[in-house]
Amino acid sequence: MTVATQPTGGGYVDRGGGGGSSGLADVVELILDKGLVIDVFVRVSLVGIEILTIDARIVVASVDTFLRFAEATNRLDLYGEGKGGKDLTQLTQGMMEGGAKGKTSGVLDAAVDKVEEVLGGNRNGDRDDEEDEPVRRRPRQRARERER
Amino acid sequence: MTATYVYGLVAAGADLPDGLVGLGPSGEVRTVEHDGVAALVGDVPSDRPLGTRDDLMAHEAVVDKVAAATTVLPMRFPAVVEDDQVVDELLAPHRDRFLRALDALDGLVQYSLKGRYVQEVLVQEIVEEEPAVADLQERIRGVPEDASYYDRVKLGEIVARAMEQRRDVDARDVLERIGPFAEQVSSSTPAQPDDVVEAAFLVARDKAEEFEREVEELGGDTHEWLRLRLLGPLAPYDFVPAED
């Protein structure tokens, strides 16, 4: 997924929001899960969006998460057998589309984006996957030392 | 019935920014006031249900543009009342509660921060430190996908658990460093093991710059192993008081 972002200041922190500059996945989290609820309100019929986001959460249940990490360790082994397993994002997209025939594409976009955000997104074109430099150990100590 | 969409609540007479575009056919966003409190409302599309991508984006854009200028209580999407009931059903019965909440949040904005491990770096670290991982990798290598299924699940589970242990420490570090720049912090444990931190910060408007600078500095210090994403300023979604 490509989250629409607006880099401001050019630092190391990815910046987004508010006022319409957030990605859809961010927006879904903010306005569907949070905010004021008044029980007298008419709940206008939604195009199945809550059901879709719930499905998305089920899909990322633990076994799939574990397989994803197993794959990640395989990727470290440059001369290994290559990446095994299914592409979970594709799997999910197939599921979402199959299970939501007749729903508007806008909602599907929303749900698929949500799924990809939950799954870790950026499976295609993720810069990190393409870097040539060897993976370094992270300087955990350094970060701690800089604390006041 | 004709319906009215409600984006949020502000103090009556609050200065609203220009250029608000609602999700209804007219795009109009206006206020309905009652005794000190005002609802930000607009029309609703009558020919289709709500819930498209554009509807969600419009709701967020209206609320957060207002939040950048003045205190707003954001409604959860979607909030609709009958046209002639904005005052009778929404504003009048809940006036005191709304005003109390607006007062408590006066001069404050929300920032949401997410941090995710750079997966390659963390996985590398775990592979080096957990002997069981190397053993399982050896067993999986060259074995057909179906035959190695349980070993792969097990391997992934070890990596996920190791990551969760690390993130407890790292999340605390992040919150300890950024927390002092906020009035209130609301954090939750992310569902995915490589998501380190998910937190909302309530920050005084006049300290927003300082807060952002501190997050940027943290990002610079940790960028080799942690990707930070900062949203805001936003409406105080995570700090809206629960129903009485």
The predicted pLDDT at position B107 comes to: 95
CA distance B240 to chain A (A): 6
A14 touches chain B (CB under 8 A): yes
pLDDT tens digits along A22-60: 778 888 888 887 888 776 554 443 433 443 444 444 444
End-to-end CA distance of chain A: 37
Per-residue pLDDT for A126 more than 90? no
Checking phi first, is residue A78 left (phi over 0); if not, alpha (psi -120 to 50) or beta? alpha
CA-CA-CA-CA dihedral for B94, A50, B116, A64, to nearest 10: 150
A143 touches chain B (CB under 8 A): yes
Q: What kind and span of H or E run contains B173?
A: helix B149-178
Task: Report helix, strand or coil for B29.
Answer: coil
B226 contacts B115 by C-beta, under 8 angstroms? yes
The predicted pLDDT at position A133 comes to: 42
- Residue A130 belongs to a domain: no
Q: Spell out where chain A has E strands.
A: 14-16
**Amino acid letter, B103:** D
A window 78-137, beta carbon within 8 A of B: 80-81, 84-85, 104, 106-107, 109-110, 118, 120, 128-129, 135-137
Tokens at B84, concatenated: 């002639």
Specify the pTM: 0.73
- Residue A71 belongs to a domain: yes
CA-based R_g, chain A, Å: 19
Question: How do the pLDDT tens digits run along chain B, 244 residues long?
Answer: 578 899 999 999 999 999 999 999 999 999 999 999 999 999 988 888 788 888 989 999 999 999 999 999 999 888 888 877 888 888 998 999 999 999 999 999 999 999 999 988 999 999 989 889 888 988 998 888 889 999 999 999 999 999 999 999 999 999 999 999 999 999 998 888 899 999 999 999 999 999 999 999 999 999 999 999 999 999 999 999 876 5
Test the A interface: residue of B222, B227, B228, B240 with most A CBs within 10 Å: B222
CA angle B95, B13, A43 (to 5 degrees): 45
- Residue A7 belongs to a domain: no
Q: What kind and span of H or E run contains B100?
A: helix B92-104
- Residue A32 belongs to a domain: yes
The predicted pLDDT at position B113 comes to: 96
Tokens at A124, concatenated: 């295609």
The predicted pLDDT at position A21 comes to: 64
Alpha carbons within 13 angstroms on the beta-carbon side of residue B117 total 32
The predicted pLDDT at position A19 comes to: 62
- Residue A132 belongs to a domain: no
The predicted pLDDT at position B118 comes to: 94
The predicted pLDDT at position B202 comes to: 98
Q: Please give the residue range of the domain that contains residue A105.
A: 24-121
Give how many domains chain A has, as a whole number.
Answer: 1
Residue carrying structure tokens 């109390």: B100
Which among B119, B148, B243 has CB closest to A72? B119
Please choose, from the candidates B165, B217, B220, the residue with its C-alpha nearest in 3D space to the C-alpha of residue B196. B165
Residue B76 and residue A36: Cβ atoms within 8 Å? yes
- Provide the mean pLDDT of chain A: 54
The predicted pLDDT at position B174 comes to: 97
A63 confidence band (pLDDT: 50, 70, 90): confident
Instruction: Report ipTM (2 d.p.).
Output: 0.79
